[in-house]
Structure 1
C-alpha cells in the first residue's frame, strides 16, 4: 500500500510502516525514546511492536489506564511526571501505541512537555487508524465533555498496521466502521454504497486506505478547521453530546465513540431532510444502515433534555450559535447550519420510531 503524504508527515501502512520507523530512528538522534501504552495495548500490542522493532529500538515504557473515562488532565499529569522522572529532555521522542485515547492524550502530552517534543502515532484500533491518523488533533476531555482541552500539532509520522486489528473485539471494529461510513456520507456516495455492502471486516485494508485518503484530502485544504474541515464533524454535534451523557451517567452503559456517532448521524440525517434537502429515501437509507449495524439505544425525555443541554459545549459553536454539519445529499455536506429548537425532539422521535 502506498504511503499517504500530509502537509508535514507521512502515513505508512503495514510492512512499510516499521521499515520507515527504523529508517527514521537511524536518521534522527534522539536522546531517549518513550513508548506510551494503555493497559490493553501493553498486553495485546506491545509484544508485537517489540518483536517488530527488536534490536532497532531501546525505550522507556509509560502505561496509562484504558478507557475514555481516563482521557483527562489528571492522566496527562501522570505522564508528564513520568517523563520528568525519567529525564526526558527536548530531544526525546514519544511513540504513542494505542487507540484514540492513547494517541490523543499522548500527542497532547508530547506537544506540551518542555514546550513540545517529537511524537509518532501507531494507532491500534480501526477508529484511530481512520480518524486520529490524520489531522494533528490532540487533547483530552474536560470532565465528560469531549476533547475540550488540546492543540493541533502534527506527529513526525503515523504507522497504520492492520495486524493490530486482530486484537480487537467485534464491537470495537464496528465503532471504527461508523467513522468510515461517515467518510462516505460527507464525501463519496459510491464509497458509502461500497461500505454498506460489506458483511465482514476480512478485506478492510483497502477501505482503511480510502478513509485515510478522504480525511487527508479534507485536512490538506483546511488544516485548522476554519471552513471545509468542519464536514468531518457530521454526526458529531449530537453524537458527542450523546457520548458525553452516557459517559458521565453511572446508570447508563457507556457507549463507544462510533456507537454514539452512529446515533448522531441518524439524528443529523433527519435534520438534513428537514433543512438542507436530503431526500427521504436517502434519510431512510442512512437510518436503516446504522440501525442494522448498531443496537438501538433507548432515550427518555429526561435523557434527551440533558443531552440537548450539552450542545452549548460543542467546539464548533461560535458567538453563542450551535453550528451543525448537515447533508444536501449523500456525498455533499453543508456547514454552519442553525437548527430550530423544535426539530431536536423531532429528530429523537424519528430515531426512536
Structure 2
C-alpha cells in the first residue's frame, strides 16, 4: 500500500517500521527519545529493536498506561525527563503507544522549547485509525477530555499491524468503534463492507481505508472549522459517558465502547433533528448492539453526564454541539440540541439496550 499524504507528512503502512528506520537514517536529529507506557515498553519496544537494530543512541521515557494519566502532571514529567536527558530543539520524540501516548506525546513535543519534532507509531487499533492522524494533540483537565492541546502535525506516522497481535479482543472491539463511525459519516459502501468483518481480525485494507477517510477530512479542514466536525459523530454524548464511567465504574468503558453508545444516541437525534430515517436508525442500532457491549445507563447518572457535556469543546454560546447523520454515509455538523432532547436520546438508549 502506498503511503497516504497528509498535511505535510506521510502515513506509512506495510513495511512501516523499516520506513521508520529509513526516516531516522535520513534525518539529522541530535537526540532521539521514545515515549512509551508500561505496556508498550514490554510488548512493542522489542519490535522496534527487531526492525531498527542499528538504533542504539536513544532514551526511553515511560509513563503509566490509562486515560486517567493523560494530564498535566504526567506531561510535566515528560518535559522534565526531556530536560534531564538533554533534549534540545533538534531532538525527536517518537510516540510509541495508543491514543493516550500519541495525544500526550504530541502535546509534550509541540510545547517543549516551543516545539520539537515528533512522529507517531500507533500501537492500538484505535490510535491507528484515529488518534495518530490529523495533528490534534492534547491532555485532559480534570474530568474534561482533550480540553488542553494544540494543532501540530507530526513529521510522519508509521502504522504496523504487527502491534495489534498484542491487543486483547476488548481493545480491538474498542478501536473498531472509530472504523464503524468512518463508514457512517462518509462512506455508505464502506460501512456495509465493515459489517462483514470481525473486529478481532481486521484486514490492513480496512485500516488503510479508515485512515484515508479521516485524512481526506482533516486535509480539507485541519483546524476543525467545518467539515472536520463530522468526525465528532457519537462523541458529544460518548465522551460524556466515557468520562462518567472513568469516574464511577471499577471497570470503566473503553473509548470505542463509549462512542458506540454515543452513536446510538446521536443516530436517534439524527432522526429527530436531521434526515436519517427510522429504518436506518434501527439498522444502526441493531448492528452496533451486535458488536459492542450494552452499558447499564441509569437515569440517576443523567445530570452528571449532562454536566460533562456542557464542558465539551464543540459547544458554542452555551449550546451543546453535535454532528448528526443526514443518512448512512453522510453527516452534517454545527447542530445544537436542547438538553430536553439530549435526555430523550439517553432514555432511548436505555429502551433499546433493555436497561
Same fold (TM > 0.5): yes
What TM-score bracket applies, with the shorter chain setting the length?
A: over 0.9
Q: How does 1:48-197 map to 2 (within 5 A)?
A: 48-197=47-196
**SS, match of residue 314 in structure 2:** coil
Runs of at least 5 residues in structure 2 that lack an aligned partner in the other structure: none
Aligned with 2:337: secondary structure? coil
Q: Indicate yes or no: 2:244 matched with 1:217.
A: no
2:252 aligns with one of 254, 274, 289: 254
Q: Give the deviation of 1:57 after TM superposition.
A: 4.7
Give the whole-Å Cα distance in 2 for the aligned partners of 1:242 and 1:147.
15
1:87 Cα shift?
0.7
- Which residue number corresponds to residue 234 of structure 1? 233
Q: CA deviation at 1:253?
A: 2.7
**1:233-312 alignment to 2 at 5 Å?**
233-249=232-248, 251-312=249-310
* Whole-angstrom CA distance in 2 between matches of 1:332 and 1:25: 40
Q: Secondary structure at the match of 1:335?
A: coil
User: Aligned residue for 2:4?
Assistant: 4
State the Cα deviation string for residues 61-113 of structure 1 (Å, max 9, x = none): 11000011111000001110001011111111110100000111111101111
For structure 1, list consecutive stretches of 5 or more residues without a partner in the other structure: none
User: Once the two structures are superposed, what CA deviation does each residue of 1:294-321 show, in whole Å capped at 9, x if it has no partner?
Assistant: 1111122221121012111111111222
1:97·1:123 contact (CA, 8 Å) conserved in 2?
yes
Decide whether the 8 Å contact of 1:11 with 1:133 is kept in 2. no
Runs of 4+ in structure 1 over 3 Å off: none
Contact residue 176 and residue 199 of structure 2 kept, 8 A: no
Q: Report how far residue 202 of structure 1 moved.
A: 2.7
CA distance in 2, matches of 1:311, 1:41: 32
- Of 322, 325, 329, the residue aligned with 2:323 is 325
Partners of 1:173 and 1:341 in 2: CA distance: 33
Q: Is the 8 A contact 2:34 2:61 kept in 1?
A: yes
Cα distance change on mapping 1:61 and 1:199 into 2, 3 Å: closer
Query: For the residues of structure 2 that align with 1:214 and 1:193, how far apart are their CA atoms?
Result: 15
Q: Which residue of 2 aligns with 1:20?
A: 19
Q: Deviations for 1:145-182, whole angstroms, at most 9, x for unmatched residues?
A: 11011001011000000000000000000011000000
For these two proteins, the number of residue pairs brought into alignment is 351
Q: CA shift at 1:19, angstroms?
A: 2.8
1:48 Cα deviation from its structure 2 partner: 1.0
- CA RMSD of the aligned region, Å? 1.1
Q: TM-score, normalised by structure 1?
A: 0.97
State how far apart, in whole Å, the 2-side matches of 1:254 and 1:204 are. Answer: 28
Cα distance in structure 2, aligned partners of 1:149 and 1:333: 26
Structure 2 vs 1, CA of residues 265 and 200 (structure 1 numbering), >3 Å: closer, same or farther? closer
Taking the aligned partners of 2:312 and 2:258, their CA distance within structure 1 comes to 15
After superposition, give the CA deviation of every residue in 1:275-303 in whole Å (9 maximum; x if it has no partner): 10211111011111111111111122221
1:252 Cα deviation (Å)?
4.7
Question: Does 2:185 align with 1:205?
Answer: no
Query: Structure 1 200/173 Cα, relative in aligned 2: closer, same or farther at 3 Å?
Result: closer
SS of 2:251's equivalent?
coil
Corresponding residue for residue 42 of structure 2: 43
SS in 2 for 1:199: coil
Alpha carbons of structure 1 residues 309 and 132: separation in structure 2 relative to 1, 3 Å: same
- Contact 2:172–2:199 (8 Å) recurs in 1: no
Report the alpha carbon displacement of residue 36 of structure 1 after superposing the two structures with TM. 0.7
